[in-house]
């Protein structure tokens, strides 16, 4: 299973979310057609921008609870002080990718970022 975990600033639009996912896929030479899931924290998963980005990418949108993200906190490669201060976990993008990728999940590398969003790609055996 191939998952794009995405974090964003408040008000980030679908165009920016789609852009950061495609940047991450390109970086890891992963065809967009192989992407199966877009994952983010529960509070953002119902936002219209995330729903639209998942639709554009033709993938399932998965919501990850803060408890889920905390469970994989020790596996993230790029902790964020801001995210830790505001959410209580060190990562949204990397942790969401790991959670949604399921068993044997691993990040392909560190997250990539645009001005308004971050994305990490993980692979795993699924839930």
> What is the number of other CB atoms lying within 10 angstroms of the CB of residue 45?
18
Contact call for residues 125 and 102 (beta carbons, < 8 A): yes
Domain ranges of the chain: 2-123
pLDDT in tens, 53-68: 999 999 999 999 999 9
Determine the Cα–Cα distance for residues 59 and 127; give it in Å rounded to an integer.
Answer: 16
What does the pLDDT read at residue 127? 82
In order, the DSSP letters of 17-45 are HHHHHHHHHHHTT--GGG--EEEEEHHHH
Q: Terminal CA-to-CA distance of the chain, rounded, Å?
A: 9
- For the stretch 18-72, pLDDT in tens is 999 999 999 999 999 999 999 999 999 999 999 999 999 999 999 999 999 999 9
Distance separating alpha carbons of residues 114 and 110, to the nearest angstrom: 14
> Which CATH fold would you assign to the domain 2-123?
Nucleotidyltransferase; domain 5 (3.30.420)
0.85 exceeded by the pTM? yes
């Amino acid at each position: 299973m191939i998952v794009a975990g995405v974090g964003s600033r408040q008000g980030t639009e679908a165009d920016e979310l789609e852009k950061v996912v495609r940047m991450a896929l390109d970086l890891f030479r992963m065809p967009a057609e192989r992407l199966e899931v877009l994952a983010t924290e529960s509070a953002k998963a119902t936002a219209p921008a995330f729903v639209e980005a998942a639709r554009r990418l033709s993938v399932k949108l998965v919501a990850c609870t803060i408890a889920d993200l905390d469970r994989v906190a020790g596996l993230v490669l790029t902790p964020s002080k801001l995210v830790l201060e505001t959410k209580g976990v060190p990562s949204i993008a990397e942790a969401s990718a790991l959670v949604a990728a399921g068993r044997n999940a691993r990040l392909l590398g560190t997250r990539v970022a645009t001005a308004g969003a971050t994305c990490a790609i993980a692979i795993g055996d699924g839930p």
